[in-house]
């Protein structure tokens, strides 16, 4: 596939962690630690922390995103958050289809596709997450599963979007994919993307790796040609760890 330069992207997924005072302290620290780093940085806090995080990062180049959204623009959906509400809280990104949403809430690829489309309609960029389970990888079905998740999650053809490959067996486990496995999978996903959206668009799409990324393993993963950044969970909770990951990818 045509080689093209893609701006690195680093997402920090706080999951269900932190309270407002901790978010404020984090936002005072992170911008200074990544001011000379290469690439784009986005923090994904819980809904209650979005206004605090947006205010804390205002004036810095660091963006804020939601961890999920409901596909409907408004309505009787207790406990959910809409794309418009995310925009109102200062978001420009949103995660769609994180494996913990698929696991805890039974999210299907069709729902992920609807969420990604709703995000784009409101002006948000979805970071669409896909990944195989340990059993699927061990039985040799990883690529088949990923291809199905990819085409299902992109069924509405959202634009723009970025993709995160997060093997479920690597999330929060300390078991990172080797750079070789990650690269082979990312290259496969880029080819599969080309079949869906055309080669020039696929060549320009950022595909992030996620799964137990830390300051020690980030540089060797990032050195691979189809790895365009990271979605980081645990290590993003600490600004020095997260900034060390980002800085190890260039400044
Ligand atoms: C994630 O939450 O998307 C993630 C990759 O988590 P961790 O970095 O903790 O494995």
Q: What is the pLDDT of residues 33-62, one digit of tens each?
A: 999 988 999 999 999 999 999 999 999 999
DSSP per-residue codes, 201-250: HHHH--EEEESS--TTTHHHHHTSTT--EEEESGGGSSHHHHHHHHHTT-
**What does the domain layout of the chain look like in residue ranges?**
9-248
Closest C-alpha to ligand 1, atom 3: 233
**Residues 237-248, buried b or exposed e (16+ Cβ, 10 A)?**
bebebbbbbbbb
Instruction: Give the confidence band of 1 by pLDDT, cuts at 50, 70, 90.
Output: low
Peptide bond into 156 cis (omega under 30): no
pLDDT computed for residue 124 by the predictor: 98
Which residue in the block uniquely carries the two structure tokens 């996903």?
Answer: 189
- Between CA 211 and CA 232 the distance in angstroms is 7
| C-alpha 114, offset from chain centre | 17
Residue 98 annotated as catalytic: yes
pLDDT computed for residue 2 by the predictor: 59
Q: Are 244 and 215 in contact (CB under 8 A)?
A: yes
Q: What is the pLDDT of residues 122-135, one digit of tens each?
A: 999 999 999 999 99
Mean pLDDT of the chain: 97
* Ligand 1 atom with minimal separation from the 232 CA: 8
Q: Is the CB of 95 under 6 A from ligand 1?
A: no
> Does pLDDT of 66 surpass 90?
yes
Specify the DSSP element, H or E, that contains 67.
none
Alpha helix (H) residue ranges in 38-131: 50-57, 83-88, 99-105, 109-121
- Between CA 224 and CA 218 the distance in angstroms is 11
Q: Which of 6, 30, 28 is nearest to 235 (CA)?
A: 30
Ligand 1 centroid–CA 47 distance in Å is: 18
Closest C-alpha to ligand 1, atom 7: 233
pTM assigned to the model = 0.97
Specify the DSSP element, H or E, that contains 201.
helix 199-204
Instruction: Give the confidence band of 251 by pLDDT, cuts at 50, 70, 90.
Output: confident
Q: What is the pLDDT of residues 149-161, one digit of tens each?
A: 999 999 999 999 9
- Between CA 232 and CA 15 the distance in angstroms is 10
Return the CATH superfamily for domain 9-248. Aldolase class I (3.20.20.70)
Q: Is the CB of 167 under 6 A from ligand 1?
A: no
Instruction: Out of 40, 70, 98, 186, pick the active-site residue.
Output: 98
Q: Are 188 and 146 in contact (CB under 8 A)?
A: yes
Instruction: Out of 107, 132, 136, 166, pick the active-site residue.
Output: 166
Q: What is the pLDDT of residues 237-249, one digit of tens each?
A: 999 999 999 999 9
Which residue in the block uniquely carries the two structure tokens 């997402």?
Answer: 11
Ligand 1 centroid–CA 15 distance in Å is: 9
Instruction: Give the confidence band of 5 by pLDDT, cuts at 50, 70, 90.
Output: confident
């Amino acid at each position: 596939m045509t080689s093209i330069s893609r701006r690195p992207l680093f997402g920090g997924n706080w999951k269900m962690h932190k309270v407002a005072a901790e978010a404020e302290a984090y936002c005072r620290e992170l911008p200074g630690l990544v001011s000379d780093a290469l690439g784009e940085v986005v923090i994904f806090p819980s809904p209650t922390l979005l206004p605090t995080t947006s205010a804390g990062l205002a004036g810095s180049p660091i963006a804020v995103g939601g961890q999920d959204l409901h596909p409907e623009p408004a309505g009787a959906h207790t406990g959910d958050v809409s794309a418009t509400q995310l925009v109102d809280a200062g978001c420009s990104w949103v995660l769609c289809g994180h494996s913990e949403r698929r696991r805890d809430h039974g999210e299907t690829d069709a729902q992920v596709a609807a969420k990604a489309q709703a995000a784009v309609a409101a002006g948000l960029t979805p970071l669409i997450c896909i990944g195989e389970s340990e059993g699927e990888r061990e039985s040799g079905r990883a690529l088949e599963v990923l291809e199905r998740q990819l085409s299902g999650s992109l069924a509405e053809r959202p634009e723009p979007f970025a993709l995160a490959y997060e093997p479920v067996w690597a999330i929060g486990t300390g078991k990172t994919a080797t750079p070789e496995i990650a690269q082979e999978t990312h290259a496969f996903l880029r080819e599969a993307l080309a079949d869906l959206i055309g080669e020039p668009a696929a060549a320009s799409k950022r595909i992030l790796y996620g799964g137990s990324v830390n300051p020690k393993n980030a540089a060797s993963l990032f050195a691979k040609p189809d790895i365009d950044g990271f979605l980081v969970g645990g290590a993003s909770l600490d600004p020095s760890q997260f900034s060390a990951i980002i800085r190890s990818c260039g400044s």
